[in-house]
Structure 1
């Protein structure tokens, strides 16, 4: 039997029974670090960038990525459209790092970057958070726009014993913030939207997507790069999640 945390939203008491997570940049990141890959690739083109600058660039570029992906999913774009998209994506990354390049140079840099082998690594706070949620018998799920089969990734990262299910855009043919992918997770969990907390690192696809489904959204902002966002709960570490759920403030 699943336990739940009783909280009050708008004068009505509800019970949180499920906690859903985004995957990339919430639970896991690429290794080698994307910042290091960018620095190495740019160096081959005679471009000097800093790790902090590239980090700032990814904040801008990932916002662009999620807005564009919700407009027209990358999985539905042609190879030439994808090439144009990632050239623009790389251009935004470098602009955020203080470097201006034309689209063709950005395309060449991204092509080099995309050839670099990468794997996923968990953030250090993930297992501590999941262990506590499991001990309290919360339903735990992953909702991700990742266009990959997650079974082997979950096994490699040791997540299978902590996560009840994973729903991806590849599984349901819809990308966050579409309600379709959130609805699929809710169906698997057997809870209502107001009984679910959703945690992700992107405002548009994660916070707005969850909020539009009447779920409780939480933005994880590890590097405190979203000081402009003030209309949702924010955390810096997943170790804050269990305590946040247990002591969710009344509103």
Structure 2
């Protein structure tokens, strides 16, 4: 960590978190379930192809132009949205366009029928949050979810750690739009220079937090972003080594 990073950390009074992929995850993940189905159809799945697909998935759901266009195109046909989504994800893996087009519907149908994930915490989430709270940091969640997830946080035993849990659907504003971060700052009553934001999606979390003046920390467990131009940690508990 640079001296500039250290100086910023000395000012921190609040830590905000992304939810999905940061504090909790699905088991299996959407990506893993998709790859398993693709493998059962003898589709190629090299490590580099899987990495490209995982990055594309994060890019796409960070309010990418493609996502915005697809929502409008398939507004009245959600099943076709997921067929198109599967085709694009296959191409990101390196599958030829014609084969991706022919198998997209098959994979989308199987995902709808078979993908039944369980809700899991990352192992270091509870202790990291407890340690930060006990050290006096104010904590909150800022998620791109469309609906409230407070019940889910309660079931995971996390709700009491946080002062608030913002969801983009309530504000009609999705990361990386900085407006959702401005709303969080208003709730905290803290300047952006005293707040860090921790998330696993460079395109939504780092870019959005930086636009709003917060200090972004990328949680990159799978080393998907080796070129990231921000502070990167490999596990949530690494925050305890960074913050004073």
Q: Tell me the CA shift for residue 139 of structure 1.
A: 0.9
Partner of residue 205, structure 1: 204
Partner of residue 109, structure 1: 107
Deviations 1:5-42 (A, max 9, x none): x9635xxx972111001111111111233344224433
Q: Is the 8 A contact 1:19 1:140 kept in 2?
A: yes
Deviations 1:219-240 (A, max 9, x none): 11101121122x2110101111
Partner of residue 131, structure 1: 130
Partner of residue 119, structure 1: 118
Q: Is the 8 A contact 2:173 2:180 kept in 1?
A: yes
Partner of residue 64, structure 2: 68
* Alignment of structure 1 residues 74-113 onto 2, 5 Å: 78-80=74-76, 82-83=78-79, 85-100=81-96, 101-113=99-111
Deviations 1:122-156 (A, max 9, x none): 11121121011011121111111012321111011
Report the more deviating stretch, 232-241 or 117-126.
117-126
Q: Tell me the CA shift for residue 48 of structure 1.
A: 4.5
Q: Is the 8 A contact 1:35 1:51 kept in 2?
A: no
Give the whole-Å Cα distance in 2 for the aligned partners of 1:93 and 1:181: 28
- Structure 1 or 2: larger helix share? 2
Aligned length: 236
Q: Tell me the CA shift for residue 108 of structure 1.
A: 3.2
Q: Report the secondary structure of 1:188's partner residue.
A: helix
Unaligned runs of 5+ in 1: 1-5, 247-251
**What TM-score does the superposition give when structure 2 sets the normalisation length?**
0.83
**What TM-score does the superposition give when structure 1 sets the normalisation length?**
0.81
RMSD of aligned alpha carbons: 2.9
Q: Tell me the CA shift for residue 112 of structure 1.
A: 2.1
Q: Tell me the CA shift for residue 206 of structure 1.
A: 0.6
* Alignment of structure 1 residues 1-251 onto 2, 5 Å: 8-9=7-8, 15-42=11-38, 46-48=41-43, 52=47, 54=50, 56-68=52-64, 72=68, 78-80=74-76, 82-83=78-79, 85-100=81-96, 101-115=99-113, 116-229=115-228, 231-246=229-244
Give the whole-Å Cα distance in 2 for the aligned partners of 1:104 and 1:37: 19
Q: Is the 8 A contact 2:22 2:199 kept in 1?
A: yes
Unaligned runs of 5+ in 2: none
Report the more deviating stretch, 218-227 or 68-77.
68-77
Q: Report the secondary structure of 1:16's partner residue.
A: coil
Q: Report the secondary structure of 2:141's partner residue.
A: strand
